[in-house]
């Protein structure tokens, strides 16, 4: 007869292993809960369906698209402004060159000798003699009158009026 101490006796522990039973029971409960949910939805008259795309995803897409459009338009605006700046810079350069040429012509024509020669030959002018100079004396000395400035009004309403008029002057 064999004893437990001989080591020849093997025990079948499968009777005590509940893992497969638990897995089967969890699967049955899952299927049953799905069936109950479907039957409740049918009893209410409509099945609960989830939209393919959520409202937040649509809103986010619209916001991103709007931001991309704003970025695109800002680049277009920047391109137009830079082109306009380049064109105006070229115009400014041409106008500066023309201004230099006009100043040179002006200075050449208005030299002192040319003016004196023009006055004598074309206009028939001559230098002033001492007999042509007359001095006029007035009975009193020269007097200058300086008008008085308005006294500035102080107060809240006067300050607001002055501020408003300053803003209007700045805008104009």
pLDDT tens, per residue, the chain with 172 residues: 555 556 666 666 666 677 777 888 889 999 988 888 777 767 666 555 677 788 899 999 999 999 999 999 999 999 999 999 999 999 999 999 999 999 988 887 777 777 888 888 988 888 888 888 888 887 777 777 777 776 666 677 777 788 888 888 878 7
- Whether 118 maps to a domain, the answer reads yes
State whether 91 and 58 are in the same domain. yes
The total number of structural domains that make up the chain: 2
Same domain as 115, residue 71: yes
Q: Is residue 3 part of a domain?
A: no
Domain that residue 22 falls in? 18-46
Helices marked H in the chain — which ranges?
19-44, 55-109, 112-121, 156-171
Looking at 104, 125, 146, which one is the last position of a domain? Answer: 125
72 with 111, same domain?
yes
Tell me the CB-side half-sphere exposure of residue 141, using CA atoms within 13 A: 3
Looking at the fold, whether 38 and 70 belong to one and the same domain comes out as no
Is the residue at 90 inside a domain? yes
Task: Indicate if 83 and 101 belong to the same structural domain.
Answer: yes
Are 112 and 63 contained in the same domain?
A: yes
Residues 63 and 31 grouped into a single domain:
no
93/115 same-domain check: yes
Q: Is residue 167 part of a domain?
A: no
Tokens 């949910």 sit on residue: 37
Distances in Å between the Cα of 156 and the Cα atoms of 57, 63, 108, 163 are 55, 47, 60, 11
């Amino acid at each position: 007869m064999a004893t437990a101490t001989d080591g020849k006796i093997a025990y079948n522990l499968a009777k005590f292993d509940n893992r497969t039973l638990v897995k089967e029971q969890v699967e049955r409960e899952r299927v049953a809960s799905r069936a109950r949910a479907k039957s409740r939805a049918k009893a209410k008259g409509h099945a609960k369906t989830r939209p393919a795309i959520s409202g937040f995803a649509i809103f986010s897409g619209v916001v991103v698209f709007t931001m991309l459009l704003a970025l695109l338009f800002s680049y277009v605006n920047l391109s137009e402004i830079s082109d306009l700046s380049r064109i105006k810079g070229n115009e400014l350069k041409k106008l500066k060159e023309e201004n230099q040429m006009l100043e040179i012509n002006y200075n050449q024509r208005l030299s002192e000798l040319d003016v004196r020669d023009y006055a004598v030959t074309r206009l028939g002018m001559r230098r002033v003699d001492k007999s042509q100079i007359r001095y006029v004396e007035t009975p009193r000395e020269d007097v200058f009158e300086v008008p008085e400035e308005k006294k500035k009004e102080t107060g809240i309403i006067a300050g607001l009026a002055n501020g408003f008029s300053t803003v209007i002057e700045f805008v104009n």
